[in-house]
Amino acid sequence: MIQDKHINSIKTEFDGKFVGDSRHRFKVGDIGFLLELTPQTGASRIELRDSPARTAGSLMDILYGFIPGRTSVEALGAAKVVKVAGNGRGQVETLWGPELDNTLTELGYPDINRDEFVADGED
């Protein structure tokens, strides 16, 4: 399972952040998987997606962890939209405990691996 220190770090860094871009218009209550995408060149972006991060080698869905690559992906759990800006970007709050369990079931991933993924060079 994810360590408490990492839970606190995710809450501190991502609760209250706005996610999305011109392709996504959120509504209050939308839920999804919170991902931070970092290309080799350019700025990082935070997205709320319908599907979780997936490792390249084993094709394992992960809820938390880091996947290196040309665009690295950090899986930051699940979140819900609590406010929507005029341009459709959603302000998110990370989910924990029973609310996270219910969300994962609703999204169709009740059995997703909740351990922190650490790349071992094969993925």
Tell me the per-residue pLDDT of 17-57, one tens digit each, with 9 for 90 and over: 999 866 778 999 999 999 999 999 989 999 999 999 998 88
Q: What is the pLDDT of residue 6?
A: 85
Question: Is 119 a residue whose pLDDT tops 80?
Answer: no
92 lies in a domain? yes
Q: What's the number of domains the chain is made of?
A: 1
70 lies in a domain? yes
Domain that holds residue 22: 4-109
| pTM (2 d.p.) | 0.90
27 lies in a domain? yes
- 3-state secondary structure string across the chain: CCCHHHHHHHHHHHCCCEECCCCCCCCCCCEEEEEEEEECCCCCEEEEECCCEECCCCCCEEEEEEECCCEEEEEEEEEEEEEECCCCCEEEEECCHHHHHHHHHHHCCCCCEEEEECCCCCC
122 lies in a domain? no
37 lies in a domain? yes
Average pLDDT, rounded, for the chain: 90
45 lies in a domain? yes
